[in-house]
Structure formats: structure tokens, C-alpha cells
Structure 1
Amino acid sequence: MKRNRLATAALATFAAFAAPCAFAQSSVTLYGLIDQGIVYTNNAGGSPAWEMASGYAQGNRWGMRGTEDLGGGTRLVFQLENGFELNSGRLFQGGRLFGREAYVGLSNERFGTFTLGRQYDSVVDYLAQTTANGSWAGFLFSHPYDNDNTDNSFRLGNSVKYASPTIAGLKFGGLYSFSNDTNFANNRAYSFGGQYTNGGLLLAAAWLQVNNPGAGTVGAITSNDASFIAGRMRVVGGGINYTFGKTTAGFSYTNSNYKNPTGNNYIGLPLAAPGVRLDTLKFQNLEANGRYQFTPGFFVGAQYVYTMMNYEASSGTVKPKIHTVGLMADYNLSTRTDVYVQGQYQRVIGGTTQSILDNAFMLGTQAPSSTDKQVAVRVALRHKF
């Protein structure tokens, strides 16, 4: 009898501690992606180049995401994700441990999701999916210098973000990123955007502004994370995708405006010709893209981008044009492994800026071409786990 009473008491004590755990159900998922291949560039700084490079169609990553049920339809959510180079094993995104994403927040099925940390802006969240590079093609198909961030060249630190639930096909959201500086406006960012889906139709729009991107080490976009370093960055755009049968067709327009730009982390410093002050650099990108799904495991896609550049400097205003054409074929070996081949051609025409911007350059190549033309081809293997 005494032994039974002790056993009953022990079980009651265990149940008292276990009951809250049973209520707060949680889960953690580990995941990753490896994208590795060979790239040939016909002209990289004046010479052809063969290189092994990773993370083109999708960036290499390893991460974890998790939830905890808090009751009443509310969950705690978090995600930690890094980017890495397979060739050397080094971290991308300025050497950050979780450079792709790092956030925690609350999500409610009726009211939406509120998160804090290092996160994507609204251009990436809503608009990028209407471009080839932001949906199925990746890095090599970026608009020149990824001037509109549709390929996610940077993330926003110190950010507070809201994303709505989907209501009758519509979802929207916004983000504010603190400068963490005593000068409140120095290197802060804010963006908002939305998407509407109905059957095979997807409509999207987004807006982003960053003050002093690349200034310092603690702001919204730090010096080792910026695409462009400038006094101000402003991006606005819209796009449409439509899927009918095995075909998906898309069109997007983005307008990027950089005030007092001094450099770009892909091609370095300076952007202006010697002795010239560059006041404003503008890009307008018009893209048409299409993809045909021959079978569930095989597709072919194409992209054309027409970019109008405004180079407004102390030496005058010049308006070069950039033509970019890309083709891609992708074949699934399994549900998690595929092989793909990509080819990209770019040509710069029109007025000359007497700077590095006169030379063709596609992201993923070793260096800008020594001429106004550049060609790159990639063959790669991708695995998701």
C-alpha cells in the first residue's frame, strides 16, 4: 500500500510538470541546400576564365526553423540560416554565422506575423517572384549589379517586420530597419509591398528606401553587406506572372535611384571616372521572362532585360543602355536533386561614362569585361536536404 501511494504521488508530480509542455507543442526543422558547378566566362578583365563556383540558381545554405504553439492560434516562430561557399567552406554575407536570415517573432493565423532580426525587404518578399532571377534562375540572371535587389544581394539588420495573412488572394507587409546610431536616420531602411494571386495570376508591387546604405557596421545595410554604397537608395517596382497550362510568362519593371553613389561591392570603388563627382545613378529595368514545364521534372526558361541607365555627374549626364539575355534548362534527377545549365549574354550600348560602368558585367563572373560585351555559361548540380 505504501509503495502504491509513493508511486501515485510520483506520477501526480510528473503530470503537474509535464502538463504545460504538452500544451506548448514545439518543433524544429533542420534543412539546407547545395548548388555547385563550373562557370565559363569569355571575358573577365580581358581574359577568358574557367572557375568552380557555388550558389547560383539558389544560394548555398544551412539553417533551422521552429515554432512553438502558444495557444489561441498564436505561435512563436524563429529562423536561423547561413550562407556558405562549398569550394572553401567559408561563410558568405560578410562572414556572418547566420547571414541569410536570423529572426524571432509571433505569428497568428488571423492577424499575421510580426518578427524582429535580420530579414528580407519587401522587394524580395513580394516583387522578386515576378523576375527570372528571383524565382527560377538565380544569381547569373540578376539585373545589372542587382541594382533593385530582386536577387537579394543584401538583407536588412535591426529590422521589425509585419506580414499579413492571405485574404481573398491578397497579402501585404512592411519593414522598418533601425540604424542603431545616435543619428537616427543614418543607415536606416523602410519598405512595403504586396501580392495578389488568383488562379494562375500573380500581381506584385514593392517599394524600398535606405538612407546611407553601406555606412558603418551596425546599420540597416552595413559596409560589408551593401550592394551599392550611396547617400540614399530608393527602389520601386511592379510585376506580373501568369501560368497557363505548362507555361509561365512574366513581366516586371523596377526603378532604382542612387544618390551620391561611391561604390559597388561587386565591382569596387570608384564608380565615377577620375576627377568626376557622381551625383545620381539611376536604373530602369524592364524584364520579360518565360518558362515551359515539358514534364514535371524538366523545364526550359528564358529571360530578356532592357536596362536604361542615367549617369548624372559633374561631367554631364550620360544614358547608356544594357541588353541582357539568358537561357536555362533544368532536369530533376530526383525530388531533391537536379542538374541545370545556364547561359547569359550582355551588351552595353549608348553614351559612355568613361568609367567601369561602360563595361559589360554579369553577377557571377570573376570581373567586368574589358569590352561592352560579356558571355557566361554554367553547368551545375543542386541538392536540397
Structure 2
Amino acid sequence: MVKKTILAALLGAMATAASAQSSVTLYGRIDNGVQYESGLPKGSQISAESGDWGESEFGIKGAEDLGGGTKAIFQLEMGLNTQNGSYGNGSLFGRAATVGLSNETYGTFKMGNFGAGEIEQDSWDLDPQVMQAYAISTLVRGRNWSQAGNGLEYTTASFGGLTLKGQYDLTNANTWNAGSPGSAPGQLGTSTGLGSAQGRSDGLKAQYNASNFELQAIYDEIRDPNGQFSNVYLASRSILAGGTVTFGPVKVYAGFQHLSAPDASNAGYFGTATPTTLPGGTSLPTAVNHEWLGAAWQVTTDAALTAAVYHANANNGNGNATMYTLAGTYNLSRRTFLYSELGYVHNSSTSNIGLGNGYSDPYGANANNDPVNGGDNTNPNYGKGQFGAFAGIMTQF
């Protein structure tokens, strides 16, 4: 009897130790709201939306203590459309499916599908509107929401506030830069600009954090399935830099981004079919300059307001667009908050950027500007503006 008691005690101690050395966490968030937009090709629209503030998601992450300060880590994460129950990001665990090792001294190494963790998405940290629907990705047609799979990633430990990060996508293709079907969960494709695999992607990030300010710089490359930089909004080089400064309850944001796609051409994008009608003198842009300035004010413990202005100028006659935003959040608890945002885009005469995400408003004319070849998209008419407003609730677990 005594032996059995001792054995039970030992097994209990071992189970407790194992529990202390490893952990598995289920987490997620649900974001649902209502949105109104005007200036669409067919007028205005009221719609139920999932993910205007941030994509709904469900995930599992875990860590196992291997000793010596090293942990084995993993993460599986899926995007959700909680209005209709479907999953997003192209596959079941399209947001993340990684495994790796982490050490407080040597940093963190991961392998797998980075999905929504493509290195350019770290730019949300420089965005006054934290990458919600009308934010840093809008005027570059979703370029900052790119994804990456089949990848390797290394992040250093912090050295006096400085952290470095590198990411590389192997593509799984027999050509170094090109992509193969399923090589990455990207946005690239044919005349719509969406839907098939990317080619190679890679990037570097440097970030410095101090007590009241932050500096960040990101360089990344995303190639099309042929290994080229063929669309400034999809397959391009990006260099982005900016910073934040905090003054009491106010945080000020500023940033600049340059996109370059030297291989871009109308023929390469529209194919051999009759090109979509474009304003006179324009062709697919090969460069875009994008800058923004904004501030977030923590009005009370529970209420916050953010305001920001974004501006983008595309070459090859494509003009410029400016977006004005105002947003607010109110915390109902530590896990649940209400949100709302207003956004307005003003386009020059040869620009038609809308409030979409790059999927709904890719480069090209809408059906009003080109009834024969115009795309079924949400782009405003050339030279016209677009207004949007949404409100919703987010809960996290």
C-alpha cells in the first residue's frame, strides 16, 4: 500500500513537471460588423462584414521546454469569415502553420507556412489604423497584406532594444525565383491579378524600441510565378520605413514606402486580350511612393481615437490618391471592444483607387469606364472619390 502511495505521488509529480515544462493554448477572435460604402461602380452598398477591424481567426500554439533556455514551439492558425462560416487565406491553416525553436539568448527560428505573417505585414506597427480595413494597405491595393509559405524565418533576441528579422520562401520550384502551384498562398494570377501561386519572396526587418519611441525598416521582395516583378501592387520590391513617438496619451505615427516593379507592362498583366480601357497616356505603373502621418489618442482608459492621412503617387500617368481616416474603439472588457472607422479616398483624374483590399479592387477600369472589358470590381470611376464607414464588435479569447 505504501509502495502504491509513493508510486502515485511520483507519477503526480512527473505529470506536474511535464505540465510546467510544456503548454498548448487555444486562442482566437471574432470580429463582425456592418459597413456602408458609396462611390462604387453601381452606387452604394450596405453589407455585413467579418474582419473590418481585424480578420477573425482561430489558432493553436504551444511550447515545450527542452532545457538550457531553449523551447520547441509551434503554431497553427486559420482565418475565418464569421458571417458565413468559411475559412480565409486560401486554406485551412492559411494564416500560419509553423514549428521551430526559441531561445532567449539566440533568438527564434521557424519553418513552414507564415501566411499572414509575411514580413511586410509587420508594418501594422507603423500604421495609425493598425491595418484595419481603411489603413496602410488601402492605397497600395493590399500589397502590405501579402502572404508567404514554404518558408524559413529567424528573429534575433533584442540587443539593447534592436531586433533583426529575416524571412525566406523556398517556393518548392525547379527554377530559383519562379513559383509552382501551391508554392505560396499569394494573390497573384491572370487578368484579375489574383488567385494563383507567388514566386520567391524574402525580406529583412530592423526594429528599434525605446521607452517612448520606435523605429522600423522593412525590405521585402515578392515575385510572380515567372520570377519577375510584374505588378507594383502584387509582385514587387518594397522598402518601408517609419517610426512612432509617444507623448503621454498621444502616439504619433509617420512612414514612407516605395514600391518598384521594373518588369510591369500592360501586355504582361492584361495578356493578349484587348486591354482594359485606361485613361489616355497611362500604362501599368512600375513605381509607387506611399507616405502617411497620423496619431492615436487614448482619451480614457477604455476609449481611444485615431486619425491618419495616407497619400500614394503612381508613375506612368496613374496619378495620385489621398485617403483621410478617423476611427475609434471602446473597451467593454479586457477581451471585448466596440470599433468604428470612417474613410474617404480622393483620386486625381487618372487614378481609381478605392477602399477595397486589392482583391475587390485590383488595377484596371471598372465597368462604368469600360463597359466591354471593365472588371467586376469595386473601384470608383477614374477621378472620383469613395467614402466608407463601418462599425462592429470584436471579442478575443
- 5 Å-filtered alignment, 1:1-385, equals 7=4, 11=7, 18=14, 22=18, 25-94=21-90, 96-119=91-114, 120-125=117-122, 127-133=123-129, 135=130, 138-144=132-138, 146-147=140-141, 149-150=143-144, 153-186=145-178, 187-212=199-224, 215=225, 228-230=233-235, 233-258=236-261, 259-260=263-264, 273=278, 278=283, 280-310=285-315, 317-350=316-349, 352=350, 358-363=351-356, 367-371=378-382, 372-385=384-397
| Structure 1 residues 165-185: Cα deviation after superposition (integer angstroms, max 9, x where no partner) | 111111111011111011122
Determine if contact 2:232/2:264 at 8 Å carries over to the other structure: no
Structure 1 unmatched runs, 5+: 220-225, 311-316, 353-357
Structure 1 position 123, deviation (Å) = 2.5
Determine if contact 2:155/2:166 at 8 Å carries over to the other structure: yes
Structure 1 position 12, deviation (Å) = 9.7
Structure 1 position 148, deviation (Å) = 7.0
Structure 1 position 333, deviation (Å) = 1.2
| Structure 1 residues 87-125: Cα deviation after superposition (integer angstroms, max 9, x where no partner) | 11011112x111111111000110000000111233223
Structure 1 position 370, deviation (Å) = 3.0
Give 1:222's aligned residue: none
Determine if contact 1:140/1:362 at 8 Å carries over to the other structure: yes
| Structure 1 residues 34-63: Cα deviation after superposition (integer angstroms, max 9, x where no partner) | 111111011221311000011011111010
Distance in 1 (CA, whole Å) between partners of 2:279 and 2:348 is 21
Q: C-alpha root-mean-square deviation of aligned residues, in Å?
A: 3.2
Task: Give the structure with the larger strand fraction.
Answer: 1
| Alpha-carbon distance change, 117 to 329 in structure 1, aligned in 2, over 3 angstroms | same
List 4+ stretches of structure 1 deviating above 6 A. 269-272, 274-277
| Structure 1 residues 245-293: Cα deviation after superposition (integer angstroms, max 9, x where no partner) | 00000100001122326569xxxx9777499995643211110010111
Structure 1 position 304, deviation (Å) = 0.1
Structure 2 unmatched runs, 5+: 179-198, 361-376
Given residue 381 of structure 2, which amino acid in structure 1 is its aligned partner?
A: S
Given residue 217 of structure 2, which amino acid in structure 1 is its aligned partner?
A: A
Distance in 1 (CA, whole Å) between partners of 2:396 and 2:275 is 39
TM-score, normalization by structure 1: 0.81
Q: Does the residue aligned with 1:141 lie in a helix, a strand or coil?
A: coil
Q: Does the residue aligned with 1:181 lie in a helix, a strand or coil?
A: coil
Structure 1 position 381, deviation (Å) = 0.9
Given residue 93 of structure 1, which amino acid in structure 2 is its aligned partner?
A: N
Distance in 2 (CA, whole Å) between partners of 1:272 and 1:282 is 20
| Alpha-carbon distance change, 381 to 227 in structure 1, aligned in 2, over 3 angstroms | farther
Determine if contact 2:327/2:339 at 8 Å carries over to the other structure: yes
Distance in 2 (CA, whole Å) between partners of 1:194 and 1:147 is 24
Count of paired positions: 347
Determine if contact 2:232/2:288 at 8 Å carries over to the other structure: no
| Structure 1 residues 342-364: Cα deviation after superposition (integer angstroms, max 9, x where no partner) | 100001115x3xxxxx3231126
Give 1:313's aligned residue: none
Determine if contact 1:145/1:363 at 8 Å carries over to the other structure: no
Determine if contact 1:143/1:305 at 8 Å carries over to the other structure: no
Q: Does the residue aligned with 2:76 lie in a helix, a strand or coil?
A: strand
Given residue 115 of structure 1, which amino acid in structure 2 is its aligned partner?
A: K
| Alpha-carbon distance change, 12 to 206 in structure 1, aligned in 2, over 3 angstroms | same
| Alpha-carbon distance change, 227 to 67 in structure 1, aligned in 2, over 3 angstroms | farther
Given residue 134 of structure 2, which amino acid in structure 1 is its aligned partner?
A: L
Q: Does the residue aligned with 2:149 lie in a helix, a strand or coil?
A: strand
TM-score, normalization by structure 2: 0.79
Q: Does the residue aligned with 2:204 lie in a helix, a strand or coil?
A: strand
What is the identity percentage for the equivalent residue pairs of Structure 1 and Structure 2?
A: 27
| Alpha-carbon distance change, 182 to 304 in structure 1, aligned in 2, over 3 angstroms | same
| Structure 1 residues 209-258: Cα deviation after superposition (integer angstroms, max 9, x where no partner) | 1222xx39xx9xxxxxx99554xx10001001011100000100001122
Q: Does the residue aligned with 1:318 lie in a helix, a strand or coil?
A: coil
Give 1:355's aligned residue: none
